[in-house]
């Protein structure tokens, strides 16, 4: 406890770090306040049906990622997800279109152009989603809930929802530049955490009811949640170290090389992206049915039931497939082998060149298989929690995107704080060693 207090004092002593943390908290406060500002023309006292629709299932996931803004009919109702979708599209285009590949190789100027294109695509995606959200709003709420109606309401609401998403995107970028951590990731995490206290208390009170299982059942849930949390940390931090020997070379009177280093290959190099990809596809049947889960039939109904067999089987298979897919586009064995060769490095027992590429590819395939299966299991754990009787909102914290984002973003943010401390010769957050973050946030895009 004394060490933690001393660390907090050290954080306060570093002016730059202190200002960054306060700036981050200020932007987060603005985001949370905006999540409760209702779209003009909608009576905030008549949102019960919309909030009931967002209690569970896929709509509950959408509401959780927006920090409750979806159920509040807020100006931030669509949240940051349109920007995430745009970023995913740009990443996919970067694999197939030479123009985007060229931009990636242009360094900072190319990155700025890609960011600008992503912003334009975000506007288009949000403009497409906003009318669907308003149509769902009109379907769920009684006519008396709308203070004004007609074309002006539609146009003004669409403009407000698009502007709200762009403002949230701007807040995320400002946090990244002026604050601490990855801004977009932090906003998603804050939206998730904002629902945790309500979900936890709801689960607690439901358990202490006459047929809820009592306090023992609640404590068992907490133990299981803790074990899942620890296992997820192991998945995020798990690596396979590949030794690389650098050959000795003499330049003038100085000797270079002759040392051994290690390349850390992550068990889960794809992060949370496979689940986001898979979940985006699982949303399609519901979107085609205009978010109406009560009247859907056939395939749409099967893929709207988060506890159903076919939903979870398909979801798990998609996560495994996308894990291999995303690992393949983020880890390039050929480039790694070329970099080793340029620096006179080689893997002991493996010939440089093609053999090294084959070796690295084989290692990645072997460690990706268990990683993808474990990731798929984490993705469908909330469904098992719901089947076990956990309320729908609290079940989302037993796995899936929520837990991975929480773990990844927390580790990355703590790692950045620790880096600031170590640069100024203060003790880090953990005396046993540095926090093992990820090379980029769980949802860094």
Domain boundaries, the chain: 1-179, 198-445
Enter the tokens of residue 259: 């040392």
| Closest by CA position to 185, among listed 83, 290, 38, 297 | 83
Q: Where are the alpha helices (DSSP H) in 238-353?
A: 273-288, 298-302, 309-330, 333-342
Q: Where are the alpha helices (DSSP H) in 14-107?
A: 15-34, 48-53, 57-65, 81-96, 98-105
pLDDT for 432: 45
Enter the tokens of residue 324: 């291999």
Helix or strand (DSSP H, E) at 246: strand 239-246
Decide: helix, strand or coil at residue 181: coil
8-state DSSP, 74: B
Contact predicate 42/137, CB 8 Å: yes
pLDDT for 442: 41
Q: Where are the alpha helices (DSSP H) in 179-239?
A: 183-207, 214-237
pLDDT for 444: 46
Those residues of the chain that have pLDDT short of 50 are 432-433, 438-445
Decide: helix, strand or coil at residue 391: coil
| Closest by CA position to 75, among listed 149, 130, 148, 142 | 130
Report long-range pairs for 9-13 (Cβ below 8 Å, ≥24 apart): 10/421, 10/426, 10/427, 11/417, 11/420, 11/421
Enter the tokens of residue 90: 């740009």
Question: 354-387 vs 273-288: helix axis angle to the nearest 10?
Answer: 50
Q: Which CATH class is domain 198-445?
A: mainly alpha
pLDDT for 439: 45
pLDDT for 427: 56
Contact predicate 402/396, CB 8 Å: yes
| Closest by CA position to 416, among listed 24, 30, 104 | 24
The superfamily (CATH) of domain 1-179 is SecY subunit domain (1.10.3370.10)
Decide: helix, strand or coil at residue 119: helix
pLDDT for 267: 84
Cα angle for residues 230, 57, 27 (degrees, 5° grid): 65
Distance separating alpha carbons of residues 92 and 99, to the nearest angstrom = 12
Distance separating alpha carbons of residues 56 and 305, to the nearest angstrom = 10
Distance separating alpha carbons of residues 180 and 174, to the nearest angstrom = 10
Decide: helix, strand or coil at residue 339: helix
The per-type count for the chain, helices as H runs and strands as E runs, is 17, 5
Distance separating alpha carbons of residues 265 and 262, to the nearest angstrom = 9
């Amino acid at each position: 406890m004394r060490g933690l207090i001393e660390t907090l004092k050290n954080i306060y002593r570093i002016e730059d770090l202190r200002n960054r943390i306060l700036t981050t908290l200020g932007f987060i406060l603005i985001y949370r306040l905006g999540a409760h500002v209702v779209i003009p023309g909608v009576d905030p006292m008549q949102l019960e049906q919309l909030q009931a629709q967002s209690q569970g299932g896929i709509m509950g996931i959408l509401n959780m990622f927006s920090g409750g803004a979806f159920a509040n009919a807020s100006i931030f109702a669509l949240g940051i997800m349109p920007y995430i979708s745009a970023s995913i599209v740009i990443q996919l285009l970067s694999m197939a279109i030479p123009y985007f590949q060229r931009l990636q190789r242009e360094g900072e100027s190319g990155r700025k152009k890609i960011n600008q294109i992503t912003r334009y695509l975000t506007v288009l995606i949000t403009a497409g989603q906003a009318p669907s959200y308003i149509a769902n709003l009109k379907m769920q709420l009684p006519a008396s809930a709308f203070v004004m109606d007609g074309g002006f309401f539609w146009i003004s609401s669409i403009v407000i929802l698009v502007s709200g998403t762009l403002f949230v995107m701007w807040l995320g970028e400002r946090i990244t530049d002026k604050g601490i951590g990855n801004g977009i990731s932090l906003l998603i995490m804050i939206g998730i955490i904002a629902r945790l206290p309500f979900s936890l208390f709801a689960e607690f009170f439901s358990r202490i009811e006459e047929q809820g299982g009592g306090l023992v059942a609640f404590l068992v849930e907490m133990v299981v949640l803790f074990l899942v949390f620890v296992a997820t940390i192991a998945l995020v931090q798990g690596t396979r170290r590949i030794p690389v020997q650098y050959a000795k070379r003499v330049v003038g009177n100085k000797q270079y090389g002759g040392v051994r280093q290690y390349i850390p290959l992550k068990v889960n190099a794809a992060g949370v992206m496979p689940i986001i990809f898979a979940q985006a596809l699982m949303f399609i049947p519901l979107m085609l049915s205009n978010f109406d889960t009560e009247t859907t039939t056939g395939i749409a109904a099967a893929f709207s039931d988060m506890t159903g067999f076919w939903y979870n089987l398909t979801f798990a298979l998609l996560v495994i497939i996308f894990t291999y897919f995303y690992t393949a586009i983020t880890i390039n064995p050929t480039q790694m082998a070329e970099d080793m060769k340029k620096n006179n490095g080689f893997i002991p027992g493996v010939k440089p060149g093609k053999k090294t590429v084959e070796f690295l590819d084989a290692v990645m395939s072997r460690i990706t298989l268990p990683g993808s299966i474990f990731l798929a299991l984490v993705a469908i754990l909330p469904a098992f929690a719901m089947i076990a009787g956990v309320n729908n909102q609290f079940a989302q914290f037993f796995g899936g995107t929520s837990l991975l984002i929480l773990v990844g973003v927390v580790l990355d943010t703590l790692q950045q704080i620790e880096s600031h401390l170590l640069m100024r010769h203060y003790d880090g957050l953990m005396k046993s060693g540095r926090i093992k973050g990820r090379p980029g946030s769980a949802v860094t895009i």
